[in-house]
Amino acid sequence: MPAAAAAGTAVATAGEDGQVKVWSRAGMLRSTIAQADEPAYCVCWGGGSSSGQLLFCSGSNVTTAALQGTGGIGAGSRNSCGAHASWKAHDALVLTADWNVATNLIVTGAEDCKYKVWDAFGRLLYQSSVWEHSITSVAWSPDGALFAAGSYNCLALCDKQGWSYCQVRPSSCSLLGLCWSPDGTSLAACGGNGSLTVAALLDVRLEDGRVAAVLEGERLVSVVDCVSETQERLEFRDPVVKMSLGCGHLLVCSATQCHIYSTLNWNTPHIFDLKEPAQLVLQSGRGFALVDASGAAQVFTYEGRPVCGLKLQGQGTGAEALHRQLISLSNDTLAVASGSSVRCFETAQGRPAGQQVNHSLEIKAVCLSQFGNANDRLLAVLDANGDLYMLRPLAPSGSGTGSSTSAAASPTKAAAVGAANGQAQQQQQQSQLQQRMVKLASCVSGQPVWHDAAPMLAAVVDGQLVVWYHPAAAFVDRDLLEATKSTQNDGAIGAGASLDLFAGSSLMLRLRNGAHVCASIAPQPAMLHDLVRQGHWDKAVRLARFSHDPAVWACLAALAMASGELCTAEAAYAAIDAVDKLQFVLHLRGKAGAGAGGGAAGEVAVAAKLALYRRQPDDAEAMLLQAGLVYRAIKLHVRLHNWQRALDLARKHQQHQDTVLMHRRRHLAAVGQKEVLADFAALAQETDAGEALPFREA
C-alpha cells in the first residue's frame, strides 16, 4: 500500500513481503526502512511530513519510525530508520491506519472488528465496540477534528475522541479506501465491488448563546433565535465550505464567497469574493480572519473590508498551523503556535508584535483573551504534558540591565562587543518572557476558553471544571491566584471533557462520550470586571460586600493593587483576612498621605513600591530614575541583592560606588563567601570603601 508525503517529494510503500520502503517521486529507491516478520498492509506519513516520520502496521503491531538522513525527505536525500516505537495495537491483523498531522493522533482498524485511537507515544485513548465486520479503512479529516471508518457496507463519521456521530450503509461491500476533500466537507469511499461513494458533511451545528445555526444541506443553513423564537433559512449559490458563529455574527464561506450576517438582521448580509477557499475561520469582537490552505491569513472587519494580510508559513509555521487550537485571534492580536514557540502579530498592520515565546515542550493549544486593550492581552498556552501556562505576550520588557563599556576599543572589538551585547539582550528578553509565564494547572484536557466579555479563564483540570475569575492576579500577587479560582467537582464531567463556550455566567462542555453538559458560575465576577473597567470602585466594593464571596474580594484586591487604588485594596484585604498585605497597604497609604518626604518624589516612591509588590523591579527602577531618585534606585537593587545592576547604576551616575561596595562586603561577610564578581574585585583594588554612610531616606 503506497502513501505519498504531503509535500509530494517521497512515496512510502508496504507489502506482503513485510518490507517498508521510501521512494523518490521519480521512482528511485531511497532506502528500506524496515523488514517485518509479517505482511505490512498499511503505511502512512505523520507527525509532520517535513520531519519524516512513518507509521506502518505488520500483523497485530503498529510501528512508528523517524527517518534519518541528509535532506530530510526532499529530493536527493538518503534515508535510514532512526528512533522508533512499536506496540501491539489489536488482537488480530491490523488492516488500516492513519496519522493526523494537526492533532498528532493515530487511528487504527483491524480484523478484530474494532477501531482504536492512540497518541503518538502509543497510549490508547479510545477503543470502539465490536462491529459486525472488520474495519477495512480509516481516514482523518484535514483539520483532525473528525475521522471516518469504513467496514462492510458501513461508513461511520467519528469525533477525534473516538465516539461516533452517525453511520451510513452504502451498498459497496468492504470500503477499501477513504479520502477527504482538502476543505473537509466531502468524503470519497471506494468499495470492494468497484463502486465509488461520495458523502457530504451535513448537520454541522453551531451555537452562540441565543443563536443556533445548522447546516441542513450543502447550500442551506437554518438559523434559530432562541430569544425572539424566530427561524431563518439561508440559501447559497455554492456549497458551504466553512461556518463560524460568534461575537454577534454568522460567517458562511463557500469556495468563492464569504457571507457576513449580523444576528440582529438576517436580510442584508455583507458579501465579498475569496481568492482561495478558507480552511479556517477565526472571530473576535472587531473582526475575523480567514486562513487558506497555503497558510496565508487575511483579517477583515464585519463589513467585509480587508485590514491586513499575513503569511503564516513564512513565519516558521507549516501545515500544523491550520489547526484551530494553534491559532487564536483577538481584537488587536493574532497568536500562532508552531512546535514549541508562539509568535504574535498586530492585526492592524500585520507586523510582528512582542517577543517570540519559546517553551520547553511542544505547544498543543493557544488562546488569547478578548477583554481590554493590547497591553492587557493575556495568552493561555497548553503544552504536550497537559500543563496550562499564562503570560502577557505584548507586555513591555522593562528597562535593560546590560552594562556599558567605558574603555576605548578597536572597530573589530567594538563589533564583537556589540554582537555579544545584542545576544545577551535577546537572552535577557527571553528570560523575562519565561519569568512572565505563570503555571496555572496540570492535567488539563481540551482547550482552555476565555470569557467573551471579561478576563476570566476556564479549563477542565483532572476531570473538574476550574474557572479563574482573575488569572492576571498572578502578575500582581501570586498568593491571590488560588483565592480567585473556583472548582466544580461534578462527577458527570470526568476526564477527557472539553469546553465549547464560555459566555455570561454559563459554560458548555462536551463530555468524552459526546454529550453536551451546561454549567454555571456566579455572575458577580463578570460584573466586577465591568465596574472596574468603568472606574466605579465604590460600586465594586458594594458588589463585593453583597456577594459575600471571598473569591470576589480577592479579585477586587488584585484589581485595586494593579490600579493603585489603595483604599479599595485596604477594604478587600481586610475582608479576606490578609493581615500582612493589609499592613503593607496601610504603610503605603501613610506614605502617600504624608507625601513620603517630598511631594512628587513621594508619589513616585509609592508607585515604585507598588511595582515591587507586583514583582516588577525593572518598572520600579525606571520610575525612580525618571524622577531623578538615583539613590533610591541603587538602594532598590542592593536590597534585592542584584549587585551587578546596583554597581552599574552607581558607575553610570558617578555616585555611591563606595556604598554599594560596602554593602557587598557586609553581605559576603554575613554568608561567609569570597568575592566572585570581577567588577567588585576590581573596584575593591581601586579604592578603599571604608565605612561609607549607610542608606538613608533621600
DSSP string, 421-481: HHHHHHHHHHHHHHHH-EEEESSEEEEEEE-SSSS-EEEEETTEEEEES-GGGGGT-GGGT
* Rounded Cα–Cα distance for residues 420 and 438 (Å): 29
Residue of 16, 62, 56 lying closest to 34 (CA atoms): 56
**Does residue 182 form part of some domain?**
yes
Instruction: Please give the residue that has the higher pLDDT: either 69 or 487.
Output: 487
* Virtual torsion, Cα 175, 179, 180, 181, nearest 10 deg: -130
Q: Which conformational region is residue 628 in: left (phi greater than 0), alpha (psi within -120 to 50 degrees), or beta?
A: left
* Rounded Cα–Cα distance for residues 302 and 283 (Å): 10
For residue 405, give Cα distances in angstroms to 361, 409, 414, 427, 647. Answer: 37, 9, 9, 19, 13
The answer to whether residue 27 scores a pLDDT higher than 90 is no
User: Per the structure block, which three cell numbers stand in for 626?
Assistant: 525618571
**Does residue 659 form part of some domain?**
yes
* Rounded Cα–Cα distance for residues 23 and 240 (Å): 38
How much is the average pLDDT of 480-507? 88
Domain span at residue 70? 2-200
**Best-predicted range by mean pLDDT (348-352, 403-407, 431-435):** 348-352
The answer to whether residue 168 scores a pLDDT higher than 90 is yes
**Does residue 411 form part of some domain?**
no
**Does residue 208 form part of some domain?**
no
How much is the average pLDDT of 283-301? 91
**Does residue 235 form part of some domain?**
no
Q: Which of 157, 173, 200 finishes a domain?
A: 200
Residue of 546, 553, 390, 532 lying closest to 483 (CA atoms): 553
**Does residue 305 form part of some domain?**
no
Q: Alpha carbon 483 to chain centroid distance?
A: 24
- The domain tally of the chain equals 2
| Cβ atoms within 10 Å of 455's Cβ, excluding its own | 25
Q: What is the pLDDT of residue 1?
A: 66
User: Per the structure block, which three cell numbers stand in for 310?
Assistant: 499575513
Share of the chain above pLDDT 90, in %: 58
Residue 64, strand partner residues? 55, 85
**Does residue 291 form part of some domain?**
no
How do residues 635-668 score in pLDDT, each as one tens digit?
999 999 999 999 999 999 988 898 999 999 999 9
pTM for this model (two decimals)? 0.83
184 with 202: CB under 8 angstroms? no
* Rounded Cα–Cα distance for residues 39 and 168 (Å): 31
Share of the chain above pLDDT 70, in %: 86
Q: Which of 200, 217, 243 finishes a domain?
A: 200
* Rounded Cα–Cα distance for residues 284 and 347 (Å): 11
How much is the average pLDDT of 435-446? 87
Mean pLDDT rounded to a whole number for the chain:
86
Q: Which of 155, 182, 200 finishes a domain?
A: 200
How do residues 173-201 score in pLDDT, each as one tens digit?
999 999 999 888 999 999 999 999 999 99
For residue 255, give Cα distances in angstroms to 201, 260, 395, 504. Answer: 15, 15, 39, 34
329 with 315: CB under 8 angstroms? no
Domain at 132, CATH number: 2.130.10.10
**Does residue 301 form part of some domain?**
no
CA atoms within 13 A on the CB side of 249: 24
Q: Alpha carbon 693 to chain centroid distance?
A: 52
